Amino acid sequence: MIDPPNFDDLTKRFIEALPPGVRQFQVEMEKNLHAALQATFAKLDLVTREEFEVQQGVLTRTRAKVDALEKQVAELEGKATGGKRRKVADKAAEPDSGDSPSH
């Protein structure tokens, strides 16, 4: 929700714009306007700046973890692929012991 001081400031500016004859109802109007603004903003499903910043921090930490995990997976895939290539290369380099003719 939006901070109450922001509602109060908005309400006061609205009341100050009214003609002097209407100002006698200022207290009642401030209460009604304050309630109406709160109800309107509540329908908008807004979050406070603090809540937003907390979620932004969570998202930043999550993004860093995902990046680290992606790097780790890439390294593991590289090792797995490199290991298979080495085994194939080693087998090709070994002399064929059973099929070669004897002299």
Rounded distance between C-alpha atoms, residue 14 and residue 12, angstroms: 5
E strand intervals along 29-86: none
Instruction: Give which of 8, 1, 3 is closest to 31, Cα–Cα.
Output: 8
Instruction: Tell me the pLDDT tens digit for each residue of 22-72.
Output: 766 777 878 888 888 888 888 887 888 899 999 999 999 999 999 999 999
- Percentage of residues of the chain with pLDDT beyond 70: 72
Tell me what pLDDT residue 95 has.
59
Q: What is the pTM of this model?
A: 0.43
Better-predicted residue by pLDDT, 27 or 81: 81
Locate 60 and state its tokens: 């930043």
Helix/strand/coil for 99: coil
Tell me what pLDDT residue 59 has.
97
Hey, where are the domains in the chain? 1-46, 48-92
Cα dihedral value 63, 65, 70, 73, nearest 10: -170
